[in-house]
Chain A
Amino acid sequence: LSTTGACRAIQKLTRVRVVDNSALGSTPYHRPPKCIHVYNKTGVGKVGDKILLAIKGEKKKALIVGHKMPGPTMTPRFDSNNVVLIEDNGNPIGTRIKTPIPYILRQREGEFSKVLAIARNFV
């Protein structure tokens, strides 16, 4: 019998925390938003990966901005799995992100420029 340890990054069926001020993310629902697919070769999502979220009975794409798993040294590790709701073309749905975002996302400025533009704090 072998069991794998806890993943702590984001994979299918992880409950995530939506961090922007969009209506979908802020209104309460009796079920927490869960990840149903990770757009990655491995099913494990790290910072900067896109995932499919199930929120309020709808499917929405989202971008991972922070997870509980320790990453490379000098990168921040957050106490909750944070996610920003996104459209299919990469436009964020919310207008403001209060929680801190890691600087690593600036590396892919082309894809995430609009998300980084609405972010307030960086870590």
Chain B
Amino acid sequence: CRASGDGKPAKFQPPPKPVIIDKQKQRTERRFLSPEFIPPRGRTDPLKYYMERKDMIQRRKVFNIPEFYVGSVLAVTTADPYANNKSNRFVGICIQRGGKGLGATFVLRNVIEDQGVEVCYELYSPRIQAIEVLKLEKRLDDNLMYLRDALPEYSTFAVNMKPVPYLDHEEIPVNKLQVRMKPKPWSKRWERPKYNIKGIKFELPESKMKEAQKWSQPWLEFDMLREYDTSKIEEKIWKEVNEGLKK
């Protein structure tokens, strides 16, 4: 312990917190390429996708489209000629991201006054004035359409929810929530292996689950004609997008 010069008892100073720098583990920077940049498999001329990407990069320079995944809570303000103050704010959980190129859309769902509402927004529409991510997280599935048949508490989000600050530059939290459903009938038979849903807590009897497995197609994952390896395409597009945004 340190001897104080005054003679009075020194004020307790806590020891400095140790900073651990892991030089062995290389910090991989998280790269997020929005899924609408990746062109679908087909025989169209890549020039079309190149021109669309140029327009998308141009729009992104003017307007910030944040990174978000299916399962994160967003607040979108759009310009609406028929609303008060001409702008309309909607808060909801993203249940699906579809479309490629400039027509990319995302669907937000919320339950307001016991009424479920879903709105499909186009990412690159000039009517959108602001997109804020209130809670950034992923879920166990890519498509949360089953929330329509789940209990309404899983889709309710307060309109004046405060944005949850997300932690680091790495690791997006995965919410391993298992959702409870309303009693059958559902809009789609979510227990079937075709939908491959992991985020539902099925409370169906074993016989029903076994019967659903009759429709499984185990040969699909080995089908070579359906393979679409996007890793190299993604690398090229990532470089292109980054250069475009830096200019």
Write the residues of chain A forming the contact surface with B, with a CB cutoff of 8 angstroms.
66, 70, 73-80, 82, 98-100, 103-107, 121-123
Contacts and interface: CB of A to CB of B under 8 A. Distances in A.
Given A73-B105, A79-B148, A103-B88, A123 B117 contact: yes
Contact of A75 (B119, B125, B148): B119
B148 A76 contact: no
Contact of A78 (B82, B83, B88, B116): B116
Chain B contact patch, size range: 20 to 34
Given A103-B80, A103-B83, A77 B120 contact: yes
Question: Which residue of B112, B115, B121 has the most chain A CB atoms within 10 A of its CB atom?
Answer: B115
A79 to B, nearest CB: 3
14 contacts: A73-B125, A74-B122, A75-B119, A76-B119, A77-B120, A78-B116, A79-B116, A79-B148, A98-B113, A100-B117, A103-B80, A103-B82, A121-B112, A122-B83
A77 B80 contact: no
A121 B113 contact: yes
A74 B115 contact: no
Contact of B113 (A80, A99, A107): A99
Nearest to A82: B115
B127 A78 contact: no
Contacts of B117: 76-79, 100, 123
A80 B127 CA distance: 27
Interface in B105-134: 105, 112-122, 125, 127
B78 interface: yes
A85 to B, nearest CB: 17
Interface string B73-111: 000001010110000101000000000000001000000
B123 to A, nearest CB: 11
B112 A123 contact: yes
A107 B82 contact: yes
B119 A74 contact: yes
Contacts of B120: 70, 73-74, 77
A28 B185 CA distance: 23
A118 B39 CA distance: 48
Question: Which residue of B82, B113, B148 has the most chain A CB atoms within 10 A of its CB atom?
Answer: B82
A92 to B, nearest CB: 18
Contacts of B125: 73-74
Given A79-B148, A103-B83, A122-B83, A74 B113 contact: no
Contacts of B115: 66, 78-80, 82, 99-100
Contacts of A121: 112-113
Question: Which residue of A66, A76, A121 has the most chain B CB atoms within 10 A of its CB atom?
Answer: A76
Nearest to B79: A74
A104 B122 contact: no
A71 to B, nearest CB: 9
A122 B90 CA distance: 10
A106 B80 CA distance: 11
Given A73-B125, A74-B78, A74-B127, A100 B113 contact: yes
Nearest to B111: A79
A44 B170 CA distance: 50
Question: Which residue of B83, B113, B148 has the most chain A CB atoms within 10 A of its CB atom?
Answer: B113
